[in-house]
Amino acid sequence: MRGMIAESKNYLMRHARIEIFRAAILVVLLLPLCPTPVAAQKAGATESQVKAAYLYNFGKFVRWQTDRIGSPQTLTICVLGKDPFGAVLDATVEGESIDGKKITVKRLSTIQNLTSCSILFIATSEESRLGPVLSAAQHQGLLTVSDIPHFAEHGGIIGFVMLQDKIRFEVNRSAAEQSHLTLSSELLKVASRVIEKTTPQG
């Protein structure tokens, strides 16, 4: 009997250590994504600063197909349309890297130069032509992000939303799969909503 009790105790101890380890890993994974923007919001950061922090951190939780990466040395965040960030986005990514790739920022006025991009932020100025933009971005295998209303519902991958006066984000997993992107389960866990289907515009 004592042997069985001791064996059960050892099992529970091992199980507890495993769960603690998993929890620690989860915290390490989520710290760069969640607390940084949330802490920034609590500290009174501007909307642009919070969204820029999110935009940079999204790159840590996405995997692109090798043949769809613009450059093996850099990860480029492109802003299409009227830039809402100004110098904030550049300051956020300055000196930063993801998986050994230097982060760069590029501004675009058309969808003709998407080949160098990995992440594409679509400004609200592009709402009227969202369909063609998303189609081009999907063809290039880009992670699309925007604060256009109902962006994720209409086929974008990550859409910013306001919930209880805080900036959060929704994820369209189906759109990510169509763009041949692999989203970390940790990213999906902290999303305010995960959408499995796309609602056609119009």
Name residues whose C-beta falls within 8 Å of residue 140's C-beta, 6 or more positions apart in sequence.
68, 114, 115, 117
pLDDT of residue 144: 98
Q: What is the dihedral of CA 147, 150, 156, 161, to 10 degrees?
A: 40
Distance CA 1, CA 45 (A): 61
pLDDT of residue 72: 72
Domains of the chain: 31-195 (3.40.50.2300)
pTM, rounded to two decimals: 0.77
Digit-by-digit pLDDT tens for the chain (202 residues) are: 545 444 443 443 444 343 333 333 333 444 445 445 544 454 567 899 999 999 999 999 999 986 555 567 899 999 999 999 999 999 999 999 998 999 999 999 999 889 899 999 999 999 999 999 999 999 999 999 999 999 999 999 999 999 988 999 999 999 999 999 999 999 999 999 999 876 555 4
- Eight-state DSSP code of residue 67: G
Which sign does the torsion angle of CA 79, 83, 85, 87 carry? positive
